[in-house]
């Protein structure tokens, strides 16, 4: 088995053994749709987590400045802004299906020169071979046909260019709000998975990139930490996530209190003390031959 780097937000690297390559599980089917149409709410929870992953991800890509970038599924622009600040790109085009998310992205101070377009990851509204680097940040597991979306990445990337993505390590428990999901399972809660959660593993990501024709395919895991002023701050932030909001609304006051206590115990959180939580993303990159 190959050894791949495990990157942290502080740049520390260790090695891990990468499991054997596996394809999409037989009989797997898309789950219910996930819609993100509130940029401010998304920023409070996933936007800030995504920005944390952006730094080690871009460091791992190790691409030069002044490239033409395409950010597919750019959402509220959290990754896009980090891309602009770190890479000094020649140009950036952000694509997302949610106009409300794009409205939020346009208001960021670091995205004034970014061109934002409404579009679908399965049929990108940009010309072929128009980007030096095409990336998807926390997107692939939401796409109903991941292979088709990777083919789109290949289409819009110039020869020799890079196509890359990162997504939460759903199978390995790397989702930022995993402590809440695990605690809720004790009461029989069965969380809805993103439509293509299977694609978020290192093995599946690698297989998709290779099947689409990419060369020099590599994968790694990126682990980041986020601080909160208190457990109450973490709990409040979680309510901005659609899945958590629906879960909380489905519980009785007593059930919600019980869930809160279980999560607090899992995190080892104390009243009114700062709390540090971690999350883990799987990343993949390759080149268009």
| Ordered DSSP codes for 36-53 | ---HHHHIIIIIHHHHHH
Determine the Cα–Cα distance for residues 57 and 281; give it in Å rounded to an integer: 9
What pLDDT shows up at residue 6? Answer: 37
Q: How confident is the model at residue 183 (pLDDT cuts 50, 70, 90)?
A: very high
Contacts (Cβ under 8 Å, ≥6 apart) of 58: 82, 83, 86, 87
Q: Domain containing 63: what range? A: 3-14+35-174+193-227+280-287
**Degrees (nearest 5) of the Cα angle 38, 76, 33?**
55
> Is the pLDDT at 193 greater than 90, yes or no?
no
pLDDT tens column, 117-175: 999 999 999 999 999 999 999 999 999 999 999 999 999 999 999 999 999 999 999 99
Q: Which of 127, 213, 215, 202 has its CA nearest to residue 165?
A: 202
User: For the whole model, what pTM was predicted?
Assistant: 0.85
132: in domain: yes
205: in domain: yes
Contact 170, 200 (CB under 8 A): yes
**Degrees (nearest 5) of the Cα angle 221, 223, 225?**
170
What pLDDT shows up at residue 36? Answer: 56
Task: Measure CA of the first residue to CA of the last residue in the chain; give whole Å.
Answer: 25
161-175, 194-208, 258-272: lowest mean pLDDT where?
258-272
153: in domain: yes
CATH of the domain at 46: 3.40.50.150
Contact 46, 241 (CB under 8 A): yes
How many percent of the chain have pLDDT more than 70?
Answer: 86
Please report where in the chains the tokens 């502080």 appear, as a residue: 10
| Ordered DSSP codes for 244-257 | HHHHHHHS-HHHHH
User: What average pLDDT does the segment 189-193 reach?
Assistant: 82
209: in domain: yes
Q: How confident is the model at residue 43 (pLDDT cuts 50, 70, 90)?
A: confident
Which two three-digit tokens encode residue 215? 């060369």
pLDDT tens column, 99-118: 999 999 999 999 999 999 99
What pLDDT shows up at residue 280? Answer: 98
- Which residues on adjacent β-strands are paired with residue 213? none
What pLDDT shows up at residue 16? Answer: 30
Average pLDDT value over all residues in the chain: 86
What pLDDT shows up at residue 192? Answer: 79
Contact 39, 103 (CB under 8 A): yes
Please report where in the chains the tokens 């208190």 appear, as a residue: 230
250: in domain: no
User: What average pLDDT does the segment 186-196 reach?
Assistant: 84
What pLDDT shows up at residue 35? Answer: 52
- Classify residue 123 by its DSSP letter: B
Contact 133, 107 (CB under 8 A): no
DSSP-derived pairing of the beta strands 68-72 and 131-137: parallel
- Look at residue 280 and give its three-state secondary structure: strand
49: in domain: yes
Q: Number of folded domains in the chain?
A: 1
Determine the Cα–Cα distance for residues 273 and 231; give it in Å rounded to an integer: 7
Please report where in the chains the tokens 């990754």 appear, as a residue: 79
For the beta sheet containing 3-8, the strands, ordered from the edge strand earlier in sequence to the opposite edge, are 13-17, 3-8, 215-228, 275-287, 157-168, 131-137, 68-72, 91-96, 115-118
User: What average pLDDT does the segment 207-223 reach?
Assistant: 98
> Is the pLDDT at 96 greater than 50, yes or no?
yes
104: in domain: yes
User: What average pLDDT does the segment 257-283 reach?
Assistant: 93
- Look at residue 115 and give its three-state secondary structure: strand
pLDDT tens column, 10-38: 333 322 323 333 333 333 333 334 455 55
- Which residues on adjacent β-strands are paired with residue 167? 282
240: in domain: no
What pLDDT shows up at residue 4? Answer: 35
What pLDDT shows up at residue 168? Answer: 96
């Amino acid at each position: 088995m190959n050894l791949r780097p495990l990157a942290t937000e502080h740049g520390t690297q260790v090695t891990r053994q990468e499991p054997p390559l596996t394809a999409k599980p037989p009989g797997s089917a898309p789950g219910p749709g996930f819609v993100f149409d509130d940029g401010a709410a998304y920023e409070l929870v996933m936007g800030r987590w995504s920005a944390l992953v952006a730094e080690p991800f871009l460091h791992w890509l190790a691409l030069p400045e002044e490239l033409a970038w395409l950010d597919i599924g750019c959402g509220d622009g959290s990754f896009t802004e980090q891309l602009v600040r770190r890479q000094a790109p020649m140009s950036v085009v952000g694509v997302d299906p949610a106009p409300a998310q794009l409205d939020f992205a346009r208001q960021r101070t670091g995205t004034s020169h970014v061109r934002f377009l409404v579009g679908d990851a399965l049929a990108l509204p940009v010309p072929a071979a128009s980007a030096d680097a095409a990336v998807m940040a926390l997107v692939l597991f939401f796409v109903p046909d991941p292979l088709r979306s990777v083919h789109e990445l290949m289409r819009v990337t110039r020869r020799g260019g890079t196509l890359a993505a990162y997504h939460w390590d759903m199978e390995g428990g790397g989702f930022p709000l995993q402590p809440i999901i695990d605690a809720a399972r004790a009461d029989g809660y069965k969380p809805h998975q993103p439509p293509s959660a299977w694609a978020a593993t290192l093995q599946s990501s690698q297989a998709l990139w290779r099947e689409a024709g990419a060369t020099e395919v590599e994968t790694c895991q990126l682990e980041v930490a986020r601080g909160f002023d208190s457990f109450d701050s973490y709990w409040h932030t979680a309510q901005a996530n659609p899945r958590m909001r629906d879960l909380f609304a489905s519980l009785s006051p007593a059930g919600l209190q019980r869930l809160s206590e279980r999560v607090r115990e899992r995190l080892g959180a104390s009243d009114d003390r700062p709390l540090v939580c971690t999350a883990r993303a799987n990343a993949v990159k390759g080149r268009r031959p």
